[in-house]
Amino acid sequence: METIMILDRWLHLVAGVMWIGLLYYFNFVQAPAMAEATADSDGPGPAAIGKYVAPRALLWFRWAALVTWLTGAYYLYTAPYYSLHGAFTLGVGADNAALTSIGIGAWLGTIMLFNVWVLIWPNQKKILGMVEATDDEKATAKRIAFLASRANTVMSIPMLLFMHASVRGLPF
């Protein structure tokens, strides 16, 4: 069982790095590049990014988010010093600072997962032309995806800090 927990934790870490790395790529690289490509009348336009890069990056982004959340939930469920219920109730009644800390991190991660699958991905499909949308619907989709993505960027650092704070003195 300990081997499975170690593998789960490593998968959680790898998927989490991919998820947050792509989140930062979208916010700090791709979004500004798309704006520059749209404004550049002599360049190839945003189609190169929107047609080839963005769909593939979004595929890895959303599945990395889900794998990160599922492996984290599994770890909380199976670890003897945590509990999934205890984390999501922030350790209320357990007098356990680690549960409170990892619970805040888990809630932030859950909100971020929701943003990826419910707000960012459906709206990106409209923006990238993967589903039909009017120009007004695309404009609304851009705003929603932008705000959800920026919210995730803002939540990512506190999420990581709360999760890290919970492991002080724990194995692996």
Query: Pick the residue with more confidence: 15 or 42?
Result: 15
Query: Pick the residue with more confidence: 94 or 118?
Result: 118
* pLDDT at site 168: 60
Q: How confident is the model at residue 86 (pLDDT cuts 50, 70, 90)?
A: very high
Torsion angle of the four alpha carbons 92, 93, 99, 102, in this order, in degrees rounded to the nearest 10? 0
Do residues 144 and 119 lie in contact, with contact meaning Cβ atoms separated by under 8 Å? yes
Arithmetic mean of pLDDT, 95-111: 93
pLDDT for 169 beyond 70: no
Residues 140 and 168: their CA atoms lie apart, in Å, by 43
pLDDT for 72 beyond 90: yes
User: If you ran DSSP here, which 8-state letter would residue 74 be given?
Assistant: H
Q: How confident is the model at residue 172 (pLDDT cuts 50, 70, 90)?
A: very low
Residues 12 and 73: their CA atoms lie apart, in Å, by 10
pLDDT for 1 beyond 90: no
If one counts every other C-beta atom within 10 angstroms of the C-beta of residue 83, the result is 18
Do residues 103 and 90 lie in contact, with contact meaning Cβ atoms separated by under 8 Å? yes
pTM of the model: 0.91
